[in-house]
Each structure stands twice: as C-alpha cells, then as structure tokens.
Amino acid sequence: MADSATVRVDFRTDPSRYRHWKLAFDGPVATLAMDVQEDGGLRPGYELKLNSYDLGVDIELYDAVQRLRFEHPEVGAVVITSGKERVFCAGANIRMLSQAAHGWKVNFCKFTNETRNAIEEATAESRQTYLTAVNGSCAGGGYELALATEWIIMADDGNTAVSLPEVPLLAVLPGTGGLTRLVDKRHVRRDRADFFCTTEEGVKGQRAVEWGLVDEVVPRSRLAEVVAQRAREFAARTGRPAGARGLRLTPLERTIAGDAIRYSHVACAIDRARGIAEITLTAPAAPPPADARSVHAQGSAFWPLVLARELDDLVLHLRTNEDEVGLWVFRTAGQSNLVEAYDRLLAGHRDDWLVREIRLYWKRTLKRLDVTSRSMFALIEPGSCFAGSLLELALAADRAYMLDGARPGERRPPATVRLTEMNFGGYPMPNGLTRLASRFLHDPGRVEKLRTRVGEDLDAAAAAEAGLVTFTPDDIDWEDEVRQALEARAAFSADALTGMEASLRFGGPETLETKIFGRLAAWQNWIFQRPNAVGPKGALVVYGTGQRSEFDRRRA
C-alpha cells in the first residue's frame, strides 16, 4: 500500500453511500449489520474476506454512530451484528496491515479506537445503549468492536467463539483497546486474560460467560429472539425523547484548492516547505437563537454544530492525508461576545437532547485533538476570539503565544481571551478532567478562582498571570519569537515529539481512554516496526502463506 501521504481519504459519507453496513429500524431499536463487500477495500491489493475491515469500513461505522445520535432521537438501543452467516467479524484485514506503511497502521488503529470510544460515549452520555449479537466467529478487532458495547450476547452452537489472537498469529497486540477493555472495563481476571490472548481458537459457550468475556450465551435458534428482547429492555430505560424530530446532518461542504482547504467557518493553509498547517476558526456572524427550540429550527446550520463538524473533518483529513505536516497553528477570528453568547445557550439548555449532542460532539472533536500526534500552537492576536469553547483550542495546544498590546497602526484593540461556563466542565479531556484542571494540577484551587472571572476580557498580562497562555511577546519581539518557535519545532524529530507530546498532555488520573491511547502511541508504535511483526519472516508478512514466522527471541 502507498504511504498514507499519497492516499487521499475522504471521511465524508452518508447511508446512501454505505458499502459495508446496513442500517435498519424497529421503533426504538436500530440494527447495524456488518456486511463487508470483499472487493470494497479502500485501496487495491487485498480482499475484505470474513467481514474483515479496513479504514473505509470504519469510516462508515463512525458516520452511522454520529447519525444515530443526531438523526434518531427515538432510538434508545442499537444492536451491532453481522449480515453474514456463521461469521461476525474477523477483525482488521491482515493483507491491508501487512501492505500498509507504519504510519497508516497506527493512524488506522487510532481512528478505529476513537470510533469505539464514540460508541461507549453514546451509551453513557447519549442514553443510546449499544449491544452486540455475536452470530459467528468473532476475532481480533471484531471482538474489540463488541467490547465497546454495553452488552454482548453470543450464539452457543459449539463453534462460535470470541478471540484476541493477535499475539500468537501476528506478533502484534490488540491495538484498538482490546487488552485494556478486557481488564479495565470487563474486569477479566489477569490469568484468564493471559490465556485468552495467547490462544488462537478463543473461548466459547458458558466459559466465555464465566470468564466475563461475554454477558450471555443462547442457543443459535433463540439468538434473534433474545437479542430483540434485550434491546427492547435497554431501549425502555433511555431518556431520549421518543417523539422528537431528529436533526439531519446535511452534506459537509469543503473545497480544496492547492494547499488551501476551506469550509464555511474553518480554513486551513498548508506550508509544505515548513511542514505547518495554519488553521483559522471563525466566530458566528450573528447572535445565537433565543432558546433550544430555535436551535432545533436552525438544524445543521447552528454555528457550534457546523464548527464541530468542520473541525472534526479537517483534523481527520490532515491526520490521514498530510502526515508530513507536523505542526498545526490555530488562530481564531471574530467577536468574543458572540462566542460567549453561544456558550451561554449551550450551558443554559444542557438538558435538551440536541444541545447535549452538540456539546458532546465538541467534546469528542477536542479529544481528537488531544490524542493527535501533531504539535499544536495557538497564536492569539488582535481580532482573535479565543473565548469559551474556542479558548479550549488554546488550552489544548502545546503552547499559546499572545501578543501583548497592539501593533503600530492597528485599529483593532489588543488581543484578549475570555473564560465562559463551558471551560468549567463542558469539554472534559480523555483523563476526565477539564483542560483548566489538567493545567493546574499543582494548584487545584486556581480553577475555582478563575471561575469568578467568567465573562471578563483578559489582556496579555492578565492571561499570563492567570496561567492561560505560555508567552506574551510585544510587537517588537512577536514576529521573531513566533517564527523561531515554529522553525525550532519543525526541526525536531517527529518521533521524539510524538512520544513527548503524548506523555505531557495527560497529567493527572489515568482512565481507560488515556491508557488505550498512551499504549497505542508507545507499544503499538514500537511493535508495528519490529522485525518479528514486519520483517521478511515476520508474522504479519508471512501470514496466510504457509510459511512459519521466524522470531528474534531476545527481549528488548
């Protein structure tokens, strides 16, 4: 497979274009049936046999999860199953992995796990519970998909089993959270997990229930009946508004002209010589609607939703298609007053199901930034609107530079930043803390002190004193200091920066998410490059050829 930089992937899709998933509805229950087209791979060179998947399959799944949350408020339970007989999912396609460049493999694993996280969040936060009906062999990434759901029901037919066979078969490991979910989420005993992850055939029947690998097994003849019953039970517990009208996610408009990418409120200019993407987010042009009912009326045109969708798509596009652009520079433009007004609406109507979904979408998009292996700087200048939800970009950045004062002849007032209620719990990071709380682990009381300054315009001196920015050069030093910082960052080893950033961004408590992404950044990044996996006689390379793997037995 070509390197990811030469493979142009578009993350925009909709159900009319799905090739691998079938979406059906029965009142409050939706069914997502995985029916992968063997010849439907994202790139040539491999067949997606046995419901194995590549990035294209997961792009459709991610889109379906998003649409179920926004377009179907009546759905309280979602069943994931297979549309094929006697096979649920064989996991990530081995031919695809063996042909892919290293960066592609790691990025694929990251997106796949973010989609799993979205499923878990839909269950926990959107009250749309996901279940899995395992109606055939369920291996590797297929079982990891099941692990992301709340309840797993498996056919008890003497053949159907769940397995995580990456270690014995491929010399890698379950790279999209399988090991972590096994012990941290399902609390499988370590010795049993050790056996389970080192046997190719997996575990079936009542033992799978006793070990906590699935929640129940039923005869194949009763599988559909029991799944339908469980789904109705979960759907009955939801707080989603059965009579509400869903919001249609309209097609996302985007233009790419040379090195410029433009949406309605997000623009990106790529400087390939320096390896920098300059990203500008624009504030709304008009005040927010008066209430939640008006938010529903605006639909997909509601500014926070538009911005979340556009930034999400840009992050995925850059991360997948522009892997040599290692530094993202964030700017904002517009009026802080309007941004704050929208934040007040989001905070004041948090119990409305649609407002909740928009807030959650922003949270997921900001989390995607947190776990992205790119350096991120924020530049705060006159005309910026780093307020509330947009201030989160500066707080997520590795550094924030704020111009102290105005430039000669500048008509606009000096730059300011502004806190809103959304900075105090609206968008928690993967570690479960707000970005402010993560910033001030050494001084937790400072967060509450900052809450008293909500709505206040903080100039460079005040922002620095509050700990919200890194450096505040004046006009004399601004150009040189920013230029030198960008050039120095671009000159460092990309590998070293990836490891450094992943280690620095998640202080404080460890969570399922931080464990998964930390291990993905470290272990999987390393294992995917070792000869035991990808050398001439590595397990990924010789898999399916009849040849035996040859391992270097030395422990590193």
pLDDT score for 366: 98
Ordered structural domains, the chain, with CATH: 4-236 (3.90.226.10), 255-504 (3.90.226.10)
Burial of 514 (0-12, 13-18, 19+ CB in 10 A): buried
Residue from 383, 389, 248, 272 nearest 321 by CA: 272
SS3 state at 160: coil
Q: How confident is the model at residue 340 (pLDDT cuts 50, 70, 90)?
A: very high
pLDDT value, residue 6: 56
Contact 118, 126 (CB under 8 A): no
Q: What is the pLDDT of residue 215?
A: 98
pLDDT of residue 2: 39
Phi, psi of 181 (to 5 degrees): -65, -30
DSSP of 290-348: SSHHHHHHHGGG-HHHHHHHHHHHHHHHHHHH-TT--EEEEEEES-HHHHHHHHHHHHH
Q: Are 81 and 135 in contact (CB under 8 A)?
A: yes
Q: How does pLDDT run across 126-152, given as a tens digit for each residue?
A: 999 999 999 999 999 999 999 999 999
b/e for 271-298, b at 16 or more Cβ within 10 A? eeebbbbbbbbbbbeeebbeebeebbee
- pTM of the entire structure? 0.96
- On the question of pLDDT at 521 being above 80, the answer is no
| H/E segment holding residue 180 | helix 178-180
Which band of pLDDT confidence, cut at 50, 70 and 90, is reported for residue 499? confident
What does the block give as tokens for 267? 């623009």
What phi-psi label fits residue 354: left (phi over 0), alpha (psi between -120 and 50 degrees) or beta?
Answer: alpha
> Which residue in the block uniquely carries the two structure tokens 């079936």?
204
Answer yes or no: is pLDDT of 5 > 90: no
Q: 200-259, pLDDT tens digit by residue?
A: 999 999 999 999 999 999 999 999 999 999 999 999 999 999 999 999 999 999 999 999
| Res 520: pLDDT | 82
Q: Give the residue with greater pLDDT, 337 vs 103.
A: 337
For 317, how many CA atoms within 13 A lie in the half-sphere containing its CB?
22
What whole-number percentage of the chain has pLDDT above 90? 89
